Amino acid sequence: MSSLRKARENPKEQLFDEIDRIHAGMLGIEGAHMHMQPMAPHLDRQTNMIWFFTKSDAEIVDAIGTGARAHFCVVGKDHDYHACLAGRIEVRKDPIKIDEYWSSVVEAWFDHGKDDPKLTMVALHLDDAEIWASTRSTLKFGWEIAKANFNPDEEPDVGVKTHVLFGETPAARLM
């Protein structure tokens, strides 16, 4: 469940926790004229990077050029947390990261395991993220809607919208 307090006070940590909880998000390359696609994230909290396993002949690999930028969209498991992350993306077959993130789930996609000739990775270097965290409490939601309907100058307080700049202090505001 999304914590509104954590979204206000430590949105980067909350975002990283949400990424660690999901199995996949939607990854898309800016200007590639292709739809976003589901990809399983492997987060490196120290470097603000997300790694993805893929095959070298995948359409998304072909779309990544020098200086390419991408978006990765996340919906929390409880559907009360949404984020869109952006940054530079590159194809980077890193043997250290392959070993670090390898699992039986990843292995199922590659017939020859870590030696599969089509095995590669892409790395998303995070620049910023936009985050929306909302309450799951139907009582709080109903109360806020009722208050706003009785007072035309008041909007419902049902969540937090936050912008995170990686390496800088985030700014949060109420939704």
Predicted pLDDT of residue 1: 54
pLDDT tens for each residue of 72-102: 999 998 888 999 999 999 999 999 999 999 9
Tokens found for residue 51: 């790694």
Q: Which of 161, 170, 166, 171 has its CA nearest to residue 49?
A: 166
Average pLDDT, the chain: 89
Question: What is the identity of the amino acid at 142?
Answer: G
Cβ(16)–Cβ(45) below 8 Å: yes
Average pLDDT of 155-163? 78
The boundaries of the domain holding residue 29 are: 4-174
CATH of residue 151: 2.30.110.10
- 157 pLDDT above the threshold of 80: no
Predicted pLDDT of residue 169: 45
4 phi/psi in degrees, rounded to 5: -65, -35
58 phi/psi in degrees, rounded to 5: -75, 145
Predicted pLDDT of residue 156: 65
Instruction: State the pLDDT confidence band at 137, using cuts at 50, 70 and 90.
Output: low
pTM for the full predicted model: 0.86
Q: Cα(20)–Cα(14) distance, rounded to whole angstroms?
A: 10
Instruction: State the pLDDT confidence band at 144, using cuts at 50, 70 and 90.
Output: low
pLDDT tens for each residue of 11-44: 999 999 999 999 999 999 999 999 999 999 999 9
Q: How many domains does the chain have?
A: 1
Question: Around 36, how many Cα atoms within 13 Å sit in the side-chain half-sphere?
Answer: 16
Predicted pLDDT of residue 172: 47
pLDDT tens for each residue of 102-128: 999 999 999 999 999 999 999 999 999
